[in-house]
Structure 1
């Protein structure tokens, strides 16, 4: 073995409290193609780090399979920077948030990260729609009628009037991720009722967030998607209120909203 003249530096480095000032943790499905990419585009920056862990999930997207994720939530959150604090943790499944329940998800994640703010796509979407002043909404989902019915009940239960609800009848989130943004725009046009205040597009698997400005131009109304709403909520929890019109109307509203 060759010997080198190695020198140990005597001065210890000064350590920053955090490598990046704000920390966003994502608990996402093992099958998710979309959330991580969207958050790197919309949330991550020199001042906000995005840290991801995946939990088991088995298709098809049925209430039973969605509910089966609940026992994995605490361990999933615990493995994101173990022993270190996060500013916010987002659980990235809209339909499971309805089936499991927002409060149950918060409880499970706080068992691992007690001081963290917790965001679900459903709570974020409700806050986003209210911030935009929407009361009567249209909804588009990729889900089956059975899963979509639960989504409709959730939004009615949180005080919204549903003008139109359209669903695609799909059962595999990996296939949902393969719908092109251009096709989502066309579905959005069909799903939007003329008398609605806004359109909500559910599902973190859909590649809809990047098409929001084009959809808003096409339908003449604000559009909220699952990943846009959660990105917005996570940024607000990191005290980032920068206007980003290129991401859609939601990211331009200068309201210090409770998310």
Structure 2
């Protein structure tokens, strides 16, 4: 038994440009569970439109499997994917095929942002949702398609169109607050934030208090999903109702 990971040893994946997901996952980590991070090597190229965003997604996909192979050498118990856009691509069926490919390569169970946020929304019995992302519209269209395939009605969505992968992590709380307020309304049961390099695990928790509805940060949902899949039921205050009550 691993001296520190005497409950679970988690492999975690994220793009090399991502500076948010690793500290987020570490903040959510219970005692006896350890996180072991492998970086997906991608360039920090400018992202200015749909075409350059698709190029970024393709770069991530090409390098992901090598990062998984590195993680396998630590004999992880489970894989937590700290990357978002690729896990929503081509609807729920395409996302399922992608998840199976990851499971086959990792040879362990896998949690990813698309299915984790679906599970979180189902916990709250949400039907009508809004979501925000740091992406461009081409990616928001894929996220919308996934949620609609899952049976949710997407009332509104917003893309922040951040200018590069690294710049996603420079998104301010004020920018995210304004996005949440634009998305909210009496016609929305829950708000979802996607994009793992966008720091929202604390802001989403605060937003729940003043909106009175679930606000789901993708990093919180993905890590929560992994813990619950492994039977780790620890609750943690300060990161929203999902981690505190479910």
Please indicate, yes or no, whether the TM-score normalized by the shorter chain is above 0.5. yes
Deviations 1:24-67 (A, max 9, x none): 11111010010001011012x43100000011223436123203
- TM-score, normalised to structure 2, is 0.88
Structure 2 counterpart SS, 1:212: helix
Aligned match of 1:80: 71
Coordinate RMSD, CA, aligned: 1.9
Structure 2 counterpart SS, 1:49: strand
Distance 1:201 1:229, change over 3 A: same
Aligned match of 1:26: 12
Q: CA deviation at 1:188?
A: 0.8
Long gaps (5+) in structure 2 = none
2:95 & 2:67 partners in 1: Cα distance?
16
Aligned match of 1:98: 88
2:106 & 2:190 partners in 1: Cα distance?
34
Query: Pick from 68, 80, 94: which aligns with 2:59?
Result: 68
- TM-score, normalised to structure 1, is 0.83
2:194 & 2:158 partners in 1: Cα distance?
11
Q: CA deviation at 1:166?
A: 1.6
Query: Pick from 57, 70, 75: which aligns with 2:42?
Result: 57
Largest Rg, 1 or 2: 1
Q: CA deviation at 1:81?
A: 5.2
Runs of 4+ aligned structure 1 residues displaced above 4 Å come to none
* 1:1-259 map, 5 Å: 17-19=1-3, 20-21=5-6, 22-43=8-29, 45-58=30-43, 59=45, 60=47, 62-80=53-71, 82=73, 84-99=74-89, 101-114=94-107, 116-254=108-246
Q: CA deviation at 1:182?
A: 4.0
Question: Greater helix share, 1 or 2?
Answer: 2
1:64 & 1:225 partners in 2: Cα distance?
25
Q: CA deviation at 1:121?
A: 0.6
- 8 A contact 2:87–2:99 mirrored in 1: no
Query: Across the two proteins, how many residue pairs are aligned to each other?
Result: 235
1:151 & 1:145 partners in 2: Cα distance?
10
2:62 & 2:134 partners in 1: Cα distance?
25
Q: CA deviation at 1:173?
A: 2.4
